[in-house]
């Protein structure tokens, strides 16, 4: 099992403290469904559900049925649990998905991690062509790619009726999962905490937007209250499925399995994951 090497003092304590403050704001009040008044001078609205914070719930309701859903968060941040919950309730997440984590392999190639890109998404033909094809074929569709969290502002500009589903998990739990499950060098604790907190800029962006609906999921509570989480998504996105059976499944540890549906296939679990190498369009010239 890989271990995180020791490192000297760094910004870790400040990052963890900031994450704790942000997670504290996501703690649901005693009564689910309480609506918060927007800040003075702002137009955005917020609604706390059981384990989820909904940003701009009115706009979300208007877009339902024609939205493009982006499920994202830190790697090892439990985004696969959310993707399984969506998939098992009939939500289209791509034509070729990895079996264990439900990642759209075609969209993942079209949206590389930011540090592997030489051009914005708007200038990537593979991305724009794929999005145009999905818009033509599907009224509502989405995808799950953890590192899409690095592209949230641009995706909100480029996608048709975007809705962001942001998975927030405490950085200590995420970092532990990275160290335990990674097959490659994880780096020092500062690097692990940085990777675990990649959702923070996206959260700061989303809560300041009046024209982008978002679902902010507290994944630490999801593990403890899976039934509440499934009902939150079912109600917020008007999904159909056996909520109790899904909740019972996601309440257990490990990746979830599902059967293929018409119009999509599962690819090998050995296929490249979110840290796949960039395609030729983003390789530096020799």
With respect to residue 262, please indicate whether it lies within any of the assigned structural domains. yes
With respect to residue 136, please indicate whether it lies within any of the assigned structural domains. yes
Q: Which residue range forms the structural domain that includes residue 193?
A: 42-269
Helices (H), the chain: 12-25, 57-63, 79-87, 105-110, 125-137, 152-158, 171-181, 189-196, 199-206, 219-224, 226-237, 243-250
DSSP 270: T
Taking the C-alpha atoms of residue 246 and residue 194, their distance in angstroms, rounded to an integer, is 32
Nearest alpha carbon to residue 276 among 112, 110, 72 = 112
With respect to residue 30, please indicate whether it lies within any of the assigned structural domains. no
Taking the C-alpha atoms of residue 48 and residue 215, their distance in angstroms, rounded to an integer, is 10
Number of domains in the chain: 1
Taking the C-alpha atoms of residue 119 and residue 68, their distance in angstroms, rounded to an integer, is 22
With respect to residue 33, please indicate whether it lies within any of the assigned structural domains. no
Task: Please give the pLDDT value at position 43.
Answer: 72
Q: How far is CA 145 from CA 17, 44, 94, in A?
A: 27, 26, 11
What is the domain-level CATH number for residue 195? 3.40.50
CA Rg value for the chain? 18
By the 8 A CB rule, do 15 and 74 touch?
Answer: no
Per-residue b/e over 132-145, b at no fewer than 16 CB within 10 Å?
eebeeeeebbbbbb
Tokens 């830190």 locate to: 74
With respect to residue 49, please indicate whether it lies within any of the assigned structural domains. yes
Dihedral (C-alpha) 152, 141, 224, 199: value to the nearest 10 degrees?
-10
Phi, psi of 35 (to 5 degrees): -100, 130
With respect to residue 183, please indicate whether it lies within any of the assigned structural domains. yes
With respect to residue 17, please indicate whether it lies within any of the assigned structural domains. no
Task: Please give the pLDDT value at position 198.
Answer: 77
Q: How far is CA 85 from CA 219, 244, 252, in A?
A: 13, 11, 13
How would you write the pLDDT of the chain (286 residues) with one tens digit per residue? 444 444 444 544 554 455 455 445 444 443 444 444 444 445 779 999 999 999 999 999 999 999 999 999 977 778 889 999 999 999 999 999 998 899 999 999 999 998 888 899 999 999 999 999 999 999 999 999 999 999 999 999 999 999 999 999 876 666 666 566 664 555 677 766 666 677 888 999 999 999 999 999 998 888 889 999 999 999 999 999 898 999 998 887 777 888 898 989 999 755 554 433 334 344 333 3
Taking the C-alpha atoms of residue 102 and residue 133, their distance in angstroms, rounded to an integer, is 20
With respect to residue 146, please indicate whether it lies within any of the assigned structural domains. yes
Angle between helices 243-250 and 79-87 (to 10 degrees): 150
By the 8 A CB rule, do 55 and 237 touch?
Answer: no
């Amino acid at each position: 099992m890989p271990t995180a090497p020791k490192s000297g003092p760094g910004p870790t304590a400040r990052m963890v403290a900031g994450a704790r403050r942000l997670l504290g704001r996501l703690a649901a009040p005693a009564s689910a469904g309480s609506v918060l008044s927007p800040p003075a001078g702002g137009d955005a609205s917020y609604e706390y559900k059981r384990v989820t914070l909904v940003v701009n719930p009115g706009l979300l309701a208007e877009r339902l049925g024609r939205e493009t859903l982006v499920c994202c968060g830190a790697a090892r941040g439990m985004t696969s649990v959310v993707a399984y919950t969506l998939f098992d309730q009939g939500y289209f997440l791509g034509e070729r998905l990895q079996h264990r984590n439900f990642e759209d392999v075609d969209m993942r190639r079209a949206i590389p991690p930011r540090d592997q890109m030489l051009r914005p998404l708007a200038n990537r033909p593979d991305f724009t062509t794929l999005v145009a094809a999905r818009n033509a074929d599907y009224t509502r569709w989405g995808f799950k790619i953890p590192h899409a969290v690095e592209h949230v502002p641009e995706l909100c500009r480029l996608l048709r009726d975007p809705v962001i589903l942001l998975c927030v998990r405490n950085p200590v739990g995420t970092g532990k999962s990275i160290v335990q499950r990674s097959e490659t060098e994880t780096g020092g604790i500062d690097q692990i905490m940085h990777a675990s907190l990649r959702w923070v800029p996206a959260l700061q962006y989303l809560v300041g937007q009046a024209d982008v609906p978002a679902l902010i999921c507290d994944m630490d509570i999801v593990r403890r209250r899976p039934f509440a989480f499934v009902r939150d998504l079912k109600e917020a996105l008007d999904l159909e499925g056996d909520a109790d059976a899904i909740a019972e499944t996601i309440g257990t540890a490990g990746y979830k399995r599902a059967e293929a549906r018409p119009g999509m296939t599962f690819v090998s679990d050995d296929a490249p994951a979110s840290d796949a190498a960039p395609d030729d369009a983003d390789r530096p010239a020799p």
